[in-house]
Amino acid sequence: AQSVAQPEDQVNVAEGNPLTVKCTYSVSGNPYLFWYVQYPNRGLQFLLKYITGDNLVKGSYGFEAEFNKSQTSFHLKKPSALVSDSALYFCAVRDYGQNFVFGPGTRLSVLP
Amino acid sequence: DADVTQTPRNRITKTGKRIMLECSQTKGHDRMYWYRQDPGLGLRLIYYSFDVKDINKGEISDGYSVSRQAQAKFSLSLESAIPNQTALYFCATSAGTHVGETQYFGPGTRLLVL
Protein backbone atom coordinates (compact mmCIF):
# COMPACT_ATOMS: atom_id res chain seq x y z
CA ALA A 1 0.00 0.00 0.00
CA GLN A 2 1.07 3.54 -0.66
CA SER A 3 1.94 5.78 2.26
CA VAL A 4 3.30 9.23 2.96
CA ALA A 5 5.24 10.43 5.97
CA GLN A 6 5.87 13.99 7.06
CA PRO A 7 8.31 13.60 9.93
CA GLU A 8 7.86 17.09 11.37
CA ASP A 9 4.59 18.22 12.93
CA GLN A 10 5.83 21.81 13.08
CA VAL A 11 8.50 23.81 11.30
CA ASN A 12 9.51 27.26 12.48
CA VAL A 13 11.59 29.57 10.34
CA ALA A 14 12.46 33.26 10.42
CA GLU A 15 11.18 35.47 7.63
CA GLY A 16 13.73 35.74 4.84
CA ASN A 17 15.38 32.44 5.66
CA PRO A 18 15.09 29.35 3.46
CA LEU A 19 12.49 26.79 4.44
CA THR A 20 12.18 23.05 3.95
CA VAL A 21 9.17 20.87 4.68
CA LYS A 22 10.02 17.19 4.50
CA CYS A 23 8.09 14.35 2.87
CA THR A 24 8.95 10.72 2.30
CA TYR A 25 6.81 8.19 0.51
CA SER A 26 6.34 4.51 -0.14
CA VAL A 27 4.81 3.21 -3.36
CA SER A 28 4.91 0.00 -5.33
CA GLY A 29 5.39 1.55 -8.75
CA ASN A 30 6.09 4.98 -10.15
CA PRO A 31 5.39 7.76 -7.64
CA TYR A 32 3.07 10.62 -8.50
CA LEU A 33 3.65 13.22 -5.81
CA PHE A 34 1.85 16.40 -4.83
CA TRP A 35 2.06 19.25 -2.35
CA TYR A 36 -1.01 21.08 -1.10
CA VAL A 37 -1.31 24.03 1.28
CA GLN A 38 -4.15 24.81 3.66
CA TYR A 39 -4.62 28.32 4.98
CA PRO A 40 -6.86 28.90 8.03
CA ASN A 41 -10.55 28.32 7.33
CA ARG A 42 -9.82 27.35 3.75
CA GLY A 43 -9.73 24.17 1.73
CA LEU A 44 -6.54 22.69 0.37
CA GLN A 45 -4.88 24.44 -2.54
CA PHE A 46 -2.60 22.75 -5.05
CA LEU A 47 1.04 23.93 -4.97
CA LEU A 48 3.00 21.61 -7.26
CA LYS A 49 3.39 18.06 -8.46
CA TYR A 50 5.93 15.58 -9.75
CA ILE A 51 4.81 13.13 -12.42
CA THR A 52 7.92 12.53 -14.49
CA GLY A 53 10.93 14.37 -15.89
CA ASP A 54 13.06 16.96 -14.12
CA ASN A 55 13.56 16.15 -10.44
CA LEU A 56 13.21 19.81 -9.45
CA VAL A 57 9.64 20.95 -9.75
CA LYS A 58 8.59 24.58 -9.48
CA GLY A 59 5.16 25.60 -8.28
CA SER A 60 3.02 28.43 -7.01
CA TYR A 61 4.12 31.26 -4.68
CA GLY A 62 7.84 30.60 -5.25
CA PHE A 63 7.78 27.07 -3.86
CA GLU A 64 9.71 24.20 -5.37
CA ALA A 65 10.22 20.55 -4.52
CA GLU A 66 12.95 18.07 -5.26
CA PHE A 67 12.14 14.49 -6.12
CA ASN A 68 14.81 12.07 -4.90
CA LYS A 69 14.09 8.51 -5.95
CA SER A 70 16.93 6.88 -4.02
CA GLN A 71 15.83 8.52 -0.78
CA THR A 72 12.10 8.25 -1.63
CA SER A 73 11.69 11.88 -0.71
CA PHE A 74 9.87 14.90 -2.09
CA HIS A 75 10.84 17.83 0.11
CA LEU A 76 9.18 21.21 -0.32
CA LYS A 77 11.47 24.23 -0.37
CA LYS A 78 11.45 27.98 -0.69
CA PRO A 79 14.57 30.17 -0.79
CA SER A 80 13.14 33.03 1.27
CA ALA A 81 10.17 32.52 3.58
CA LEU A 82 7.37 35.04 4.02
CA VAL A 83 5.11 35.44 7.03
CA SER A 84 2.20 34.81 4.66
CA ASP A 85 3.60 31.31 3.97
CA SER A 86 2.47 30.27 7.45
CA ALA A 87 -0.01 27.45 6.88
CA LEU A 88 -0.52 23.70 7.02
CA TYR A 89 1.25 21.78 4.27
CA PHE A 90 0.27 18.34 3.01
CA CYS A 91 2.28 15.96 0.88
CA ALA A 92 0.27 13.40 -1.10
CA VAL A 93 0.92 10.43 -3.33
CA ARG A 94 -1.39 9.04 -5.94
CA ASP A 95 -1.98 5.32 -5.90
CA TYR A 96 -2.93 2.78 -8.56
CA GLY A 97 -6.63 3.33 -7.86
CA GLN A 98 -6.01 6.96 -8.73
CA ASN A 99 -6.96 8.14 -5.30
CA PHE A 100 -4.76 10.33 -3.18
CA VAL A 101 -3.05 9.27 0.03
CA PHE A 102 -2.21 12.28 2.18
CA GLY A 103 0.45 12.72 4.80
CA PRO A 104 -0.48 13.97 8.28
CA GLY A 105 0.51 17.55 7.50
CA THR A 106 3.24 19.91 8.69
CA ARG A 107 2.43 23.25 10.23
CA LEU A 108 4.79 25.95 9.01
CA SER A 109 5.23 29.08 11.09
CA VAL A 110 7.25 31.93 9.62
CA LEU A 111 8.27 34.36 12.30
CA PRO A 112 8.71 38.07 11.53
CA ASP B 1 -12.26 27.33 -3.92
CA ALA B 2 -15.34 29.21 -5.16
CA ASP B 3 -15.89 26.53 -7.81
CA VAL B 4 -16.50 23.94 -5.09
CA THR B 5 -18.96 24.93 -2.38
CA GLN B 6 -19.99 23.16 0.78
CA THR B 7 -22.99 23.68 3.02
CA PRO B 8 -23.19 24.15 5.90
CA ARG B 9 -19.79 25.57 6.82
CA ASN B 10 -20.31 24.80 10.49
CA ARG B 11 -22.68 22.40 12.20
CA ILE B 12 -23.30 21.33 15.77
CA THR B 13 -25.44 18.27 16.31
CA LYS B 14 -26.22 15.72 18.98
CA THR B 15 -25.36 12.05 19.19
CA GLY B 16 -27.84 9.94 17.25
CA LYS B 17 -29.04 12.66 14.92
CA ARG B 18 -28.99 12.26 11.15
CA ILE B 19 -27.25 15.02 9.26
CA MET B 20 -26.36 15.74 5.67
CA LEU B 21 -23.43 17.70 4.31
CA GLU B 22 -23.76 18.99 0.78
CA CYS B 23 -21.23 19.71 -1.94
CA SER B 24 -21.75 21.44 -5.25
CA GLN B 25 -19.28 22.18 -8.03
CA THR B 26 -19.30 24.29 -11.13
CA LYS B 27 -16.06 22.92 -12.59
CA GLY B 28 -17.81 20.33 -14.73
CA HIS B 29 -15.75 17.52 -13.21
CA ASP B 30 -16.96 13.95 -13.22
CA ARG B 31 -15.09 12.84 -10.12
CA MET B 32 -16.05 13.88 -6.60
CA TYR B 33 -14.69 12.91 -3.20
CA TRP B 34 -15.44 13.26 0.49
CA TYR B 35 -12.62 13.43 3.03
CA ARG B 36 -12.40 14.02 6.74
CA GLN B 37 -9.50 15.82 8.37
CA ASP B 38 -8.38 15.12 11.91
CA PRO B 39 -5.36 16.71 13.60
CA GLY B 40 -2.23 14.66 13.02
CA LEU B 41 -3.96 12.27 10.64
CA GLY B 42 -4.14 14.30 7.47
CA LEU B 43 -7.05 13.71 5.13
CA ARG B 44 -8.73 10.35 4.93
CA LEU B 45 -11.01 9.32 2.10
CA ILE B 46 -14.61 8.46 3.04
CA TYR B 47 -16.32 7.94 -0.32
CA TYR B 48 -15.68 8.80 -3.93
CA SER B 49 -17.67 8.87 -7.14
CA PHE B 50 -16.29 8.73 -10.68
CA ASP B 51 -19.64 9.59 -12.25
CA VAL B 52 -23.31 9.80 -11.33
CA LYS B 53 -23.79 6.01 -11.44
CA ASP B 54 -20.55 5.13 -9.68
CA ILE B 55 -20.10 5.22 -5.90
CA ASN B 56 -17.14 3.70 -4.08
CA LYS B 57 -16.14 3.29 -0.46
CA GLY B 58 -12.94 4.88 0.71
CA GLU B 59 -10.69 4.16 3.64
CA ILE B 60 -13.18 5.06 6.39
CA SER B 61 -16.74 4.66 5.06
CA ASP B 62 -18.32 3.04 8.13
CA GLY B 63 -21.02 5.25 9.62
CA TYR B 64 -21.34 7.33 6.46
CA SER B 65 -23.37 7.18 3.26
CA VAL B 66 -23.37 9.31 0.11
CA SER B 67 -25.62 10.31 -2.73
CA ARG B 68 -24.57 11.60 -6.15
CA GLN B 69 -27.68 13.47 -7.19
CA ALA B 70 -26.15 14.95 -10.33
CA GLN B 71 -22.75 15.50 -11.86
CA ALA B 72 -22.47 18.69 -9.86
CA LYS B 73 -23.77 17.47 -6.49
CA PHE B 74 -22.42 14.97 -3.99
CA SER B 75 -23.89 14.69 -0.49
CA LEU B 76 -22.49 13.00 2.59
CA SER B 77 -24.82 11.69 5.30
CA LEU B 78 -24.19 10.61 8.84
CA GLU B 79 -27.12 8.32 9.61
CA SER B 80 -26.64 8.41 13.38
CA ALA B 81 -23.92 10.82 14.38
CA ILE B 82 -21.44 9.91 17.11
CA PRO B 83 -18.86 12.12 18.87
CA ASN B 84 -15.85 10.58 17.10
CA GLN B 85 -17.27 11.87 13.84
CA THR B 86 -16.39 15.35 15.02
CA ALA B 87 -13.99 16.56 12.33
CA LEU B 88 -13.46 18.89 9.41
CA TYR B 89 -15.03 17.50 6.24
CA PHE B 90 -13.87 18.37 2.74
CA CYS B 91 -15.39 17.77 -0.63
CA ALA B 92 -13.07 17.65 -3.64
CA THR B 93 -13.38 17.23 -7.40
CA SER B 94 -11.11 16.18 -10.23
CA ALA B 95 -11.50 16.05 -13.97
CA GLY B 96 -10.38 12.61 -15.03
CA THR B 97 -8.11 9.65 -14.92
CA HIS B 98 -4.70 11.14 -15.70
CA VAL B 99 -2.29 10.50 -12.85
CA GLY B 100 -1.25 14.13 -12.88
CA GLU B 101 -4.78 15.39 -12.46
CA THR B 102 -5.08 17.52 -9.34
CA GLN B 103 -7.97 17.74 -6.94
CA TYR B 104 -9.86 20.92 -6.16
CA PHE B 105 -11.18 21.31 -2.65
CA GLY B 106 -14.14 23.05 -1.12
CA PRO B 107 -13.75 25.27 1.94
CA GLY B 108 -14.74 22.54 4.39
CA THR B 109 -17.53 21.85 6.88
CA ARG B 110 -16.64 21.87 10.54
CA LEU B 111 -18.84 19.34 12.36
CA LEU B 112 -19.18 18.98 16.11
CA VAL B 113 -21.11 16.02 17.50
CA LEU B 114 -22.04 16.41 21.15
CA distances from B99 to A32, A93, B2, B31, B94 (A): 7, 10, 24, 13, 11
pLDDT band at A67 (very low <50, low <70, confident <90, very high): very high
The amino acid present at B52, given as its one-letter code, is V
Q: Which residues of A touch B45 (CB under 8 A)?
A: 99-100
Beta-bridge mates of residue B77: B20, B65
User: Does the pLDDT of residue B16 top 80, yes or no?
Assistant: yes
pLDDT, tens digit (0-9, with 9 covering 90-100), for B41-96: 889 999 999 999 999 999 999 999 999 999 999 999 999 999 999 999 999 999 87
Distance CA A2, CA A35 (A): 16
Q: Which residues of B touch A34 (CB under 8 A)?
A: 102
User: Does the pLDDT of residue A55 top 80, yes or no?
Assistant: yes
| Residues 2 through 21 of chain A touching chain B, CB cutoff 8 Å | 4, 9
* pLDDT given for residue B77 in this prediction: 98
Distance CA A42, CA B6 (A): 11
Chain B nearest C-alpha distance from A88 (Å): 10
User: Does the pLDDT of residue A76 top 70, yes or no?
Assistant: yes
* pLDDT given for residue A85 in this prediction: 96
Q: Which residue in A has a C-alpha nearest to residue B5's C-alpha?
A: A43
pLDDT band at A96 (very low <50, low <70, confident <90, very high): low
CB of A104 within 8 Å of a chain B CB? The answer is: yes
Q: Which of A4, A36, A43 sits opposite B107 (nearest CB)?
A: A43
pLDDT band at A77 (very low <50, low <70, confident <90, very high): very high
Most distant CA pair in chain B, distance = 41
Q: Which of A6, A37, A44, A49 to mutate to test the interface with B (most CBs of B within 10 A)?
A: A44
